């Protein structure tokens, strides 16, 4: 439902109390006269209650249709304030459930009525179905009881016994046959779309007129006024006439075309949002690919800088296997690149003399056999 009232903001920026919609005198009189009318026999149904007594009531869908007709589809709302499960009994494999619900009905001007409804489910074997039936019945009963407080046409008249005696004597009219032309057969209603498009165009026109009045170049208008003042009176009159024509001239066909395109753009906002999202995704993918290529180039660069360490031929390997020459003078490197030297290192850790455990001189050395046990000395 559309909001029945909107909040207002003061000049200081603080939000004030919500401003509710106020009925005009004509609307108030029309609604009041509609609520005073009593219902005909076509709206009243009967059922048998306990003890063989006949009870009159109004069906839930009929009450909702009457409320939409009187207040408008966006002129009222209902809410469930509270709902209580009073009892859930299991007797001979069947559930008996009772639920109460408090329902509030509020109009767009702020007036409301609230009442309690009750729902009962008896004899069902499913606990879930019993609770569902009782809850729905309680809400519907509370809605009907809250709506009847507004007037006779919403069900208050059926509480009058004299009215019920009189209305039962009036024969009911047969419902009119269903016209297939009046049924909804298509997903889109052309009349609704046309009305919505017309409202968008009118709102765009009003917004465009306001924006055009705000965006007038002030320096240009001031220059024209001052030039008219320095000159004769005719110049001043012409400058004012030019400014007024510039400010309040009607829109041309080009502006109207722009308005139509802007209204079309409002309808295609979802499509534009999708395209924008796809563009951002594509841009992100391109950035990630460029980043990967940059990382690969850096990796290749590091490989090329380290490659001279291992850049030697098989002849150099053969030279390693040959016997070293006699020492004549300065030592000569056998590798082709004498700048690099290969140093081998044993992986076995060696303790220094300072880290070794000190020997115990007072303890005699006992020889061990091959199995690792101490040899027993013969006594």
CB-CB contact of 45 with 168 (8 Å): no
Q: Please report, for the chain, the start and end positions of each structural domain, with discontinuous segments joined by +.
A: 19-173, 192-267
Distance CA 118, CA 101 (A): 6
Please name the residues in contact with 15: beta carbons below 8 A apart, sequence gap of 6 or more: 7, 8, 9
Please name the residues in contact with 143: beta carbons below 8 A apart, sequence gap of 6 or more: 60, 63, 64, 78, 103, 105, 117
pLDDT tens digits for 134-178? 999 999 999 999 999 999 999 999 999 999 999 888 988 888 898
**Roughly how many angstroms between the first and final C-alpha of the chain, as a whole number?**
112
pLDDT tens digits for 93-145? 999 999 999 999 999 989 999 999 999 999 999 999 999 999 999 999 999 99
- The counts of H helices and E strands in the chain are 10, 7
CB-CB contact of 103 with 80 (8 Å): yes
State the average pLDDT for the chain: 74
Q: What angle do CA 44, 46, 48 make, to 5 degrees?
A: 165
- Bridge partners, 102 (sequence order): 82, 116
* Residue 190 in this model has a pLDDT that exceeds 70: yes
CB-CB contact of 50 with 33 (8 Å): no
CB-CB contact of 85 with 66 (8 Å): no
SS3 70: helix
* Residue 43 in this model has a pLDDT that exceeds 80: yes
Instruction: Show the tokens assigned to 316.
Output: 């150099």
pLDDT tens digits for 324-376? 555 555 455 555 555 555 555 555 655 555 555 555 555 555 555 555 445 55
Percent of the chain topping pLDDT 90 = 31
Given pLDDT bands bounded at 50, 70 and 90, which one contains residue 193? confident
Assign domain 19-173 to a CATH class. alpha beta
pLDDT of amino acid 144: 95
Q: Report DSSP state, residue 36.
A: H
pLDDT tens digits for 107-118? 998 999 999 999
pLDDT tens digits for 262-302? 555 555 777 888 888 889 999 999 999 998 888 888 777 66
- Bridge partners, 56 (sequence order): 46
């Amino acid at each position: 439902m559309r909001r029945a009232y909107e909040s207002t903001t003061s000049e200081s920026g603080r939000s004030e109390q919500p401003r509710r919609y106020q009925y005009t005198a004509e609307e108030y009189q029309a609604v009041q006269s509609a609520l005073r009318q009593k219902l005909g026999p076509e709206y009243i149904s009967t059922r048998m209650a306990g003890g063989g007594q006949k009870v009159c009531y109004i069906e839930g869908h009929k009450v909702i249709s009457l409320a939409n007709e009187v207040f408008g589809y966006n002129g009222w709302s209902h809410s469930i304030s509270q709902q209580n499960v009073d009892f859930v009994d299991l007797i001979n494999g069947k559930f008996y459930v009772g639920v109460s619900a408090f329902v509030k009905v509020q109009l767009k001007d702020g007036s409301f009525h609230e009442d309690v409804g009750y729902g009962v489910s008896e004899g069902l074997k499913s606990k879930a179905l019993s609770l569902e039936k009782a809850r729905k019945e309680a809400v519907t009963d509370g809605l009907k009881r809250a709506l009847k407080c507004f007037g006779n046409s919403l069900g208050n008249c059926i509480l009058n016994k004299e009215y019920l005696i009189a209305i039962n004597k009036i024969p009911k009219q047969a419902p009119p046959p269903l016209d297939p032309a009046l049924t909804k057969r298509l997903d889109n209603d052309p009349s609704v779309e046309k009305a919505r498009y017309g409202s968008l165009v009118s709102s765009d026109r009003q917004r465009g007129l306001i924006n055009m009045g705000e965006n007038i170049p002030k320096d240009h208008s001031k220059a024209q006024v001052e030039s008219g003042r320095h000159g004769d009176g005719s110049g001043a009159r012409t400058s004012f006439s030019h400014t007024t024509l510039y400010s309040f001239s009607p829109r041309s066909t080009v502006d109207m075309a722009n308005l139509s395109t802007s209204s079309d753009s409002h309808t295609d906002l979802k499509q534009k949002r999708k395209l924008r999202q796809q563009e951002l995704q594509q841009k992100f993918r391109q950035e990630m690919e460029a980043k990967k290529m940059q990382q690969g180039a850096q990796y290749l660069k590091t490989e090329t800088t380290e490659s001279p360490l291992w850049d030697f031929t098989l002849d150099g390997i053969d030279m390693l296997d040959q016997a070293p020459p006699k020492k004549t003078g300065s030592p000569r490197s056998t590798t082709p690149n004498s700048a690099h030297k290969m140093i081998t290192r044993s992986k076995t850790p060696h303790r220094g003399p300072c880290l070794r455990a000190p020997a115990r001189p007072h303890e005699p050395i006992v020889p061990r056999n091959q199995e690792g046990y101490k040899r027993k000395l013969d006594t």
